[in-house]
Structure 1
Amino acid sequence: MRSLLAASVILSLLALTGCSAMPGAADAGAGRIDLVMLQPPRSGLNPLSDDAFKLSRWSTAETLVNLDAAGDPQPALATGWSQSDPLTWEFTIRRDVRFHDGTPLTAERAARSLRAAAAAAPKPRILDGVELTVTVKDDKVLVATATPDPLVPHRLSSPQLAILAEKAYQGRTVNPVGTGTGAFVLTKVDGTSGATLERNERYWGPKAKAAGIEVRFVPDGTARAAALRTGEADIVEAIPVSQAALLDSETITEVPMPRTNTLYLNTAKGAFKDPGLRAAARAAIDGKALVTGVYEGRADVAAGLLGPALPWSARRPARPATVEPAPANGTKITLATFTDRAELPEVAAVLRQQLEQAGFEVELVVREYAHIEADALEGAFDAFILSRATVLDSGDPVAYMVSDFSCEGSFNISQLCDERVDAALEEAARTPAGEERRRAILEAEATILNTGAAIPMLHERVLQGDARGVTGSAKDPRERILITTDTHAR
């Protein structure tokens, strides 16, 4: 049935385009991957938006740089790079690469994509606060920044900075259909329902084993799990914890995420302006009870802000308590969270019990995220539970720490302003990538935690489903890769 449907899709596309063939068309209906994803496109698969991560996970749009498991930059469409002066990086463009429309990749075309991203309004997140000037010299793309930036190669790994053919850029829109360089050609987008991709027979790397990909967007978690259980899907992302027990355990993989469930305490006003009461709250929180009771063991108790998705974070220095807990004595606090993540209201209920057992009097506030974010950022609550991504688009946690805990941070729910924290973050930000930077990041983490402004409780995992017979799918904590050239269903 699926083969007939896939074949009819290809025939329709050929009729509409007037083409007699397309990359991979001869294999349509055989060896295809049926993929079910959580969130439908929010911006019509505009690669300058968060939809870029879908294009990356389908191996259709590629960047100059990739990140390895440790978060270090590796060659992709750029074969290498160097820093020619404190402000300028030179990237050598890979030869013999063709876009899906047949045009060759050149340094000028790569620069065209980067300039479009830098000039976009709004800019891709990865370029917030960054001024890029992009020029070309021979087969090299020169990327200059207004101030020294040791993370330029990391930034260029963001899926939002994918390199597309010239025809992708028409007016104010960016169209990824048939304009990438990856192992699969995006041939059709069906609104928010699905997408179709075909194998790229001219791919510059190893040829994909699968003939194509059929994508469906299914926001309902129960329906996604059912698609795996009934054999309607080969690969399913983001299976809810509540559905895991209903599935064959051999079809589920738990992937540690760079996402921490954290309790933010308001340090500017109210009860938690007192460091002693912040220490009392920290002593009251039992992360293990949350992992076992709410997440059914499918999460990791937090030792810090950063978790097992960043293996090097386990090398953090010891952090002795600096403030003794003060007695709560019936202190009234407001504890808030949101409903958009199914587990958080339950986490809030458990935390309420834990804090009340420690002597606090707790008022619980739970709303949809769209209706609570502004209040949280303005410091309307004493405590706020947030599931927070700790590694943003650059693959480096400094941006998250600056956003959440610096005096000028744009997402500073704790209302924290501490000169020691700012100094530690500034040191981490200017340290070159590598082991030295990681040490500086862990020192900054310790400085933040010593303020008591945030209590990390657990690190989340994502459950990925692969039907029996499926091999080669990626289990990527950063959710940048999913379908690879090795992915296929037997």
Structure 2
Amino acid sequence: MSDRIPTQLNRRTALKTAAGAGVLALAGCLSSDIETADMRIGAPWEASPDPLDGGSMLRRLGVTEALVGVDYDANPAPELATDWERRDERRWQFTLREDVTFHDGDSLDAAAAVESLERTLESAAFAALPIEGVEATDDATVIVETETPFSPLPAHLSRNEAVILNPATFDEDGSVSEPVSTGPFAVDSFESAGGLSCTRHAAYHGDEPAIESVRYERVEDDQTRRMKLEGGELEMARILPRRAIDALESADGIDVYTPEIPRIRFLTFDTTSAPFDDERVRRAANYAMDLESLTESVLEGVDDPAVGPFSTDVTEWANPDLDGYGHDPERARGLLSDAGWSADPGQDGVRTRDGEPLEIEIPTFDARSLPLIAKVLQSDLSAVGFDVDVRTIEYNAMLEQVSQGSFDAYLTSWGTLYYPDPDRLAELFHSEEATLHHGYENETVDTLLEEARKLTSRRARKDRYYEIQSIVLEESPVAFLTNYTTVVATQTDVNGYEPHPVESRYGLESITVGDE
């Protein structure tokens, strides 16, 4: 990328740069008293010890590292590999950083990296990727071979599941209960309710962090996170409610950050069963929804309407020529009539076809304002003739429901660049690789996705991804609703924090707390 991704702050707070790490002694075992932590962080997610089983918090807190990282322009960047090159169409060479030490004192070499990666490649998370094998050709060189030319490989190796762990610490069955990696912080202990304590890794290969210890607390309720921050129990609180932004910004001693990140909220339609097997009905739903009003009301004007899977404010992979649908209820009604759904004033405005009402059910789950959004969509869709039943259930229950057979639509939220490459679109729209349950099949989209994986030219890849975005906007296997702005607040004595564009890391190694 040529342009740096903008980081939005509050209206009165500018980013403060770190005052210098200094050289501090390694902290001892962390006390059970939360007041002893140098950096206390609250967020809604559980900290898991295994990167293959929800261990993303380890990466964010700086415990784990991968061969490839993600820079602040949302591009693949060196991490444990100093560089990489494509030796031929199917072979990639990664050169390891020198003098890297695991948290237990063992040295990182290519053999350890390969053994760790082999575990990753055998996992369900990497099952769909065309990676044939990985080998160490000397102590500092890792070769990855793919079955077919695969340009997104470095981006996939930046994923949380691909972090490098010391294989000597794997349990007998290959699982991980005590993660030992190479990051600036080492796990001290996992705590009840999904918490985690870490201490500074004295032998870290990069700049030594100024923070001596980190205490992560899982706090599921967003208002509780806010109160803990305001009460001085946390130095950082993440995923705070939008309605709290103004109050937090005006509060003494608190800085607020509101960066847009590559995440969207969207409706997924079942394109294989009525009524959404008809493209006209899917398009009608898009025209019925007033996204401008939605974002200004329940989302407090913080998020913007989405027109595609990526925002042009976040990444150049976003097609800049997409216009979106706009709010046009009359056009929605006309499309429903064209699809055979006629208005029936005798049924409270609910349209019918062949004597059957236009009834739909939309399940969602309680996160990222989705239940509030669902109520707005219910009103908008009802206004053009849908009878909408909204249900808020557990996330896993929702996935189980929509994977068992036909459904109508479900409301969810995804990070669209959680690894820094638009190959993520294959997981949304490829007829065989999509993990969404829309049943959508388009040969042109499949071909474009497969071609884009093989090409080396960024411009050629971009052209194909732009075309894919245009097609799926038109055919609407999903309805793009909103982009996503996250809300993070810190104590004002937290210096050097810069929101990461894909949230893969909190950058704790660059932060100081207090007057250091």
Shift in Å, 1:410: 4.2
Contact residue 308 and residue 318 of structure 2 kept, 8 A = no
> Counterpart in 2 of 1:452?
476
Shift in Å, 1:39: 1.4
Match of 1:34 among 30, 40, 53: 40
Shift in Å, 1:167: 2.9
Separation (CA, whole Å) in 2 of partners of 1:105 and 1:302? 43
Matched, 1:339 2:355: no
Separation (CA, whole Å) in 1 of partners of 2:106 and 2:216? 26
The residue type equivalent to 1:182 in the other structure is G
Once the two structures are superposed, what CA deviation does each residue of 1:420-444 show, in whole Å capped at 9, x if it has no partner? Answer: 3222322333333734323321211
Separation (CA, whole Å) in 2 of partners of 1:414 and 1:202? 48
Once the two structures are superposed, what CA deviation does each residue of 1:123-174 show, in whole Å capped at 9, x if it has no partner? Answer: 1524534444111112211111222211221121112211222432231254
Contact residue 182 and residue 203 of structure 1 kept, 8 A = yes
Matched, 1:462 2:503: no
The range that moved more, 146-155 or 227-236, is 146-155
What aligned pairs does 1:347-358 form with structure 2 within 5 A after superposition?
347-358=373-384
Separation (CA, whole Å) in 2 of partners of 1:65 and 1:279? 40
Separation (CA, whole Å) in 1 of partners of 2:324 and 2:489? 40
Matched, 1:372 2:378: no
> CA 1:133 to 1:420, structure 2 compared with 1: closer, same or farther past 3 Å?
closer
Query: SS state of the match for residue 440, structure 1?
Result: helix
> Counterpart in 2 of 1:238?
239
Contact residue 51 and residue 160 of structure 2 kept, 8 A = yes
Alignment identity in percent? 25
The residue type equivalent to 2:410 in the other structure is F
Matched, 1:49 2:73: no
Separation (CA, whole Å) in 1 of partners of 2:489 and 2:151? 37
The residue type equivalent to 2:511 in the other structure is T
> CA 1:412 to 1:294, structure 2 compared with 1: closer, same or farther past 3 Å?
same
Contact residue 101 and residue 182 of structure 2 kept, 8 A = yes
> Counterpart in 2 of 1:476?
500
> CA 1:134 to 1:338, structure 2 compared with 1: closer, same or farther past 3 Å?
same
Shift in Å, 1:228: 0.7
Separation (CA, whole Å) in 2 of partners of 1:81 and 1:475? 26
Separation (CA, whole Å) in 2 of partners of 1:479 and 1:127? 24
* TM-score when normalising by structure 2: 0.82
Query: SS state of the match for residue 133, structure 1?
Result: strand
Shift in Å, 1:242: 4.3
> Counterpart in 2 of 1:102?
105
* TM-score when normalising by structure 1: 0.86
> Counterpart in 2 of 1:281?
285
Separation (CA, whole Å) in 2 of partners of 1:73 and 1:196? 28
Contact residue 211 and residue 508 of structure 2 kept, 8 A = no
Query: SS state of the match for residue 276, structure 2?
Result: helix
Separation (CA, whole Å) in 1 of partners of 2:285 and 2:93? 49
Contact residue 182 and residue 200 of structure 1 kept, 8 A = yes
Contact residue 114 and residue 136 of structure 2 kept, 8 A = yes
What aligned pairs does 1:59-458 form with structure 2 within 5 A after superposition?
59-119=62-122, 123=123, 125-138=125-138, 139-175=140-176, 177=178, 179-249=180-250, 251-307=255-311, 310-318=314-322, 325-327=335-337, 329=343, 330-331=351-352, 332-341=358-367, 343-378=369-404, 380-392=406-418, 394-399=419-424, 401-432=425-456, 434-458=458-482
Q: Which runs of 5+ in 2 are unaligned?
A: 1-24, 326-330, 344-350, 353-357
Contact residue 280 and residue 335 of structure 2 kept, 8 A = yes
Query: SS state of the match for residue 163, structure 1?
Result: coil
> CA 1:308 to 1:213, structure 2 compared with 1: closer, same or farther past 3 Å?
farther
Once the two structures are superposed, what CA deviation does each residue of 1:66-107 show, in whole Å capped at 9, x if it has no partner? Answer: 122343221111111111222211111111111122222211
> CA 1:484 to 1:109, structure 2 compared with 1: closer, same or farther past 3 Å?
same
Contact residue 47 and residue 174 of structure 1 kept, 8 A = no
Shift in Å, 1:177: 4.5
Contact residue 93 and residue 143 of structure 2 kept, 8 A = yes
Contact residue 58 and residue 184 of structure 1 kept, 8 A = yes
Contact residue 149 and residue 453 of structure 2 kept, 8 A = no
Contact residue 32 and residue 488 of structure 1 kept, 8 A = no
Separation (CA, whole Å) in 1 of partners of 2:219 and 2:27? 26
Q: Which runs of 5+ in 1 are unaligned?
A: 1-21
Separation (CA, whole Å) in 2 of partners of 1:47 and 1:370? 19
> CA 1:213 to 1:351, structure 2 compared with 1: closer, same or farther past 3 Å?
same
Separation (CA, whole Å) in 1 of partners of 2:118 and 2:224? 41
What is the RMSD computed on CA atoms of the aligned residues? 2.9
Contact residue 183 and residue 204 of structure 2 kept, 8 A = yes
Shift in Å, 1:64: 0.9
The residue type equivalent to 1:107 in the other structure is A
Once the two structures are superposed, what CA deviation does each residue of 1:167-222 show, in whole Å capped at 9, x if it has no partner? Answer: 32231254474722111222222243422222222221111111121222212222
